[in-house]
Structure 1
Amino acid sequence: MRLLVLCTHNSARSQMAEAWLKHFARELGVALEVHSAGTEKSFVKEEAKQVMAEVGLSLEGHTSKTLEEVPDPWNFDLVLTLCHEAEAACPAYPAKTARRHVPFPDPTGKPLAAWREVREGLRRLARFLVEHLREGDLPSEAELREAARP
């Protein structure tokens, strides 16, 4: 399965989600190809790198990219948007592509505690999603939103 995580700048939430999804796919033995992109190109924020390093996941080497920079950008089984701007700007995909929107607040400019809250919500979301994909089930948007809550 190919999964795209889409956010506005591909600088924080989508980067953290990509790392979590890859982590849980490896841990649970799920064949999952994960990419992240933004509707605009930016840079990976230091706070995102810091809070992910706290839990042993590195964002070093990650770069912000647009959809056009992702391999085979029009061939995803699932597109997961994490902010309202990305949901609105998300291009139309072929009928076989499922879309889920699970918005997370932008922690930019906030204390590290806010970054950690987003990180943990993304952790819960990623684990829930990968567990369901392992069973051949694609959760609904409502189920994913519920799973992300503390």
Structure 2
Amino acid sequence: MKKVLIISEKNEARSQMAEKWLSYYGRKHLEVYSAGVSKGTISVLAQKAMAEAVMDIPEYRSKRLSDLKIDCFDYVLCFDKDFSKKLPEFKGKPEIKIFDVPNPANVKGEEKVKLQAYYVVCNVIDDACFVFVQERFQIVS
């Protein structure tokens, strides 16, 4: 099994979504972890968007990178292009993949508008995770 880390600044939404999607698509090939440089609070809107996609994450908790008991990964994924410029150094030579996915927390407006942004991000991350696993493990032939 290959080990993959999804890293973010606070581990509140996009990285949590990606952890669930990668765990689903890569279940026979990947051990998936997500963590932030600092610890935040899981976004309720991220949970709602994932539940709508039938991928519940209510049991997920925000974690710091220093909380993980593993420090060597085959892959490191980041879904925040701005944060990717501040990535820490990693042991070994993991393949690092950066995705430019907007932060839905930055959307202003009523909850319905904000939730729509989380739905969009959920779908973008779903697609990115599927392609990532497909390209490496050909899960669909």
**2:26 matches 1:25:** yes
Where in structure 1 do 4 or more consecutive aligned residues deviate above 6 Å? none
> For 2:100 and 2:7, how far apart are their aligned partners in 1?
11
Contact 1:8–1:85 (CA under 8 A) maintained in structure 2: no
Q: CA deviation at 1:61?
A: 1.2
Aligned length: 132
> For 1:130 and 1:84, how far apart are their aligned partners in 2?
20
Amino acid across the alignment from 2:44? E
Question: Matched residue of 1:56: which SS?
Answer: coil
Q: CA deviation at 1:57?
A: 0.8
Contact 1:41–1:65 (CA under 8 A) maintained in structure 2: yes
Aligned to 1:2: 3
> For 1:77 and 1:117, how far apart are their aligned partners in 2?
28
Q: CA deviation at 1:85?
A: 4.4
**2:118 matches 1:115:** yes
Aligned to 2:76: 79
Contact 2:72–2:92 (CA under 8 A) maintained in structure 1: no
> For 2:92 and 2:37, how far apart are their aligned partners in 1?
21
Query: TM-score when scaled to structure 1?
Result: 0.82
Aligned to 1:89: 86
Amino acid across the alignment from 1:131? Q
RMSD between aligned residues:
1.6
Q: Which runs of 5+ in 1 are unaligned?
A: 136-150
> For 2:69 and 2:51, how far apart are their aligned partners in 1?
26
Q: Deviations over 1:34-63 (max 9, x none)?
A: 000111101111000000001111111111
Query: TM-score when scaled to structure 2?
Result: 0.87
